[in-house]
Structure 1
């Protein structure tokens, strides 16, 4: 069979990645369901493989979706824009949070926040449900988790069990960061993004 042209490869790669992620499937799980090798799937998702009709049909069956959905450049996703000036600010002792998005997929709930820690301010927490992920964009952020302290600079990332006591501090000046809260499957207490942890 003649190799697929690059536009088909690119469209399939984007749609396959999106659908697999949306369904919470690993490459190994999709490989088992579709009977397509994991290496082949990896090549398809990176647009370096040459999909055949058989491959596309196998993916259609495994994902229980029309073939056209795998090969179509149009999909139902929409663009979500949250303007800084329009987002409500949730303020704590030392942190201002702007809720950006609540994402629910495969029973897992994630909340995305723009987080600003005020200069020399402390934001303690006794702990709450989920896992906390923070990426520093600017400034120096001190994070203390259950008695262990680390300092993070721009581009640095920290993750921890949020049920442990923790505290954010900006010792040298204001800090801008992105906070992602990841809740375990089945946890419904986080329905409202205004239930901020800090």
Structure 2
């Protein structure tokens, strides 16, 4: 096997395994290969047989060709119009990360004048970060009110009942980051 194919294989296996949230042990069981073999392949030091490649491809539900091809580029440009958008009355939420990655969700939220948005409590241990870009937003959390102005950052427990309110006469825009517990 050429050096470049070993490199591609190592990068692809690790990327696909992590993407599917498998541990090395889980993937080794799914592919019916020893974990040490998988570890060697991920480090780029293994020299797999065709049978091992086929087993690994089946375990990952991809083709052998996908395992050996150059990895996808790590740079991805997603145009504004292609980002998922959710509109709820006076609220517009754009998913900056189209899917939750590494336990983070990042949204750009716009609330029209006098608008309000109720937030749902997340999993216990979740932290939320609120950073207004334009205007100020009031966060209501368990009976307390916090006024957060453009450029400020409010960090709060995301596993409590909370809501966001725009008390102003113009649109407020903020970034909401949800960090799920590990």
TM range (shorter): 0.5 to 0.7
C-alpha deviation, 1:162, in angstroms: 1.4
Q: Quick check: 1:110 aligned with 2:74?
A: no
Which residue is 1:176 aligned to? 173
CA distance in 2, matches of 1:77, 1:95: 34
Which of the numbers 132, 136, 139 marks the counterpart of 1:136? 132
Tell me, what secondary structure is at the counterpart of 1:85?
Answer: helix
C-alpha deviation, 1:79, in angstroms: 2.1
Q: Quick check: 1:127 aligned with 2:92?
A: no
Which residue is 1:163 aligned to? 159
CA distance in 1, matches of 2:121, 2:100: 22
Tell me, what secondary structure is at the counterpart of 1:115?
Answer: strand
For normalisation by structure 2, the TM-score amounts to 0.53
C-alpha deviation, 1:93, in angstroms: 4.9
5 Å-filtered alignment, 1:19-30, equals none
Unaligned runs of 5+ in 2: 1-42, 45-71
Distance 1:111 1:167, change over 3 A: same
Which residue is 1:22 aligned to? none
Q: Which has the larger radius of gyration?
A: 2
Unaligned runs of 5+ in 1: 1-64, 67-75, 186-198
8 Å contact from structure 1 (residues 93, 123) kept in 2: no
Which residue is 1:6 aligned to? none
Distance 1:183 1:93, change over 3 A: farther
Q: Quick check: 1:154 aligned with 2:147?
A: no
5 Å-filtered alignment, 1:1-198, equals 78-101=74-97, 102=99, 104-105=101-102, 109-129=103-123, 130-172=126-168, 173-185=170-182
Runs (4 or more) in structure 1 with deviation over 3 Å come to 102-105
8 Å contact from structure 1 (residues 95, 123) kept in 2: yes
Tell me, what secondary structure is at the counterpart of 1:104?
Answer: coil
Tell me, what secondary structure is at the counterpart of 1:164?
Answer: coil
C-alpha deviation, 1:120, in angstroms: 0.4
Give the RMSD, CA atoms, in angstroms. 2.4
CA distance in 2, matches of 1:152, 1:80: 32
